């Protein structure tokens, strides 16, 4: 369950699911991605750190939105950047 030290994940009650299973930023530049993550603040779906452009991490740092969820089918977890906290749901 959620790490007690992370209030960001504790505050999430409904997991935001991706609108489309694409990285919104990679689509604009014609890039490829490996896995997808969905920002739990603004619902942007972006690519993971295994992807060349790492848009989810860039988004978290530039926007200050702390928590992402995996947008991969069958994966049910949240990650908080500022606390480096991981939680399954
Ligand atoms: Zn947190
Ligand atoms: Zn991307
Ligand atoms: Zn966001």
Q: What is the pLDDT of residues 5-47, one digit of tens each?
A: 899 999 999 999 999 999 999 999 999 999 999 999 999 999 9
CA distance 67 to 15: 10
Q: Which ligand is nearest to the CA of 54?
A: 2
Compute the distance from residue 12 Cα to the ligand 3 centre, in Å: 14
pLDDT at 5: 82
Burial class (CB in 10 A: 0-12, 13-18, 19+), 36: buried
pTM attached to this predicted model: 0.93
Compute the distance from residue 57 Cα to the ligand 1 centre, in Å: 14
Query: Model confidence over 33-82: pLDDT tens digits?
Result: 999 999 999 999 999 999 999 999 999 999 999 999 999 999 999 999 99
Compute the distance from residue 78 Cα to the ligand 2 centre, in Å: 18
Q: For residue 57, give the 3-state DSSP assignment.
A: helix
């Amino acid at each position: 369950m959620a790490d007690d030290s992370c209030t960001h994940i504790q505050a999430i009650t409904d997991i935001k699911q991706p609108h489309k299973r694409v990285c919104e930023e990679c689509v604009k530049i014609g890039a490829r991605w490996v896995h997808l993550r969905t920002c739990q603040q603004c619902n942007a779906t972006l690519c993971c750190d295994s992807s060349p452009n790492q848009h989810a991490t860039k988004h978290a740092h530039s926007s200050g939105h702390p928590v992402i969820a995996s947008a991969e089918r069958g994966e049910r977890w949240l990650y908080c950047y500022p606390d480096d906290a991981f939680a399954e749901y």
